[in-house]
Amino acid sequence: MPFLKSTLREIGDVTILYFSGPIALGESSALFGKAIRELTSTDRTRIVLNLGEVSSVDSAGIGELVRAYILVRSRGSEMKV
């Protein structure tokens, strides 16, 4: 199975995270969660997740998306998908 890849781009006060590949149980969902946690540890408060190149998302991936949203909102930030 291909691995999840991520790329970060900043435009003004908006941070865009581009993901490609599957977000599934195991290494890819862990990488997704880690990318969000690292981003929220900075002062970036407006986050956009571009999942246009994500090939599949399983239940673990959905769980990571929900955890990411809760984490971002708990820090007073915004996240759009």
Q: What is the dihedral of CA 38, 24, 14, 70, to 10 degrees?
A: -70
CA distances from 44 to 30, 33, 65, 68 (A): 21, 16, 18, 14
Residue 2 has pLDDT above 70, yes or no: no
The structural domain count of the chain equals: 1
Residue 31 has pLDDT above 80, yes or no: yes
Q: What is the mean pLDDT of the chain?
A: 93
Quote the domain boundaries for residue 45: 5-80
Task: Please compute the mean of the pLDDT values over residues 13-40 and round it to a whole number.
Answer: 93
Q: Which CATH number do you get for residue 58? A: 3.30.750.24
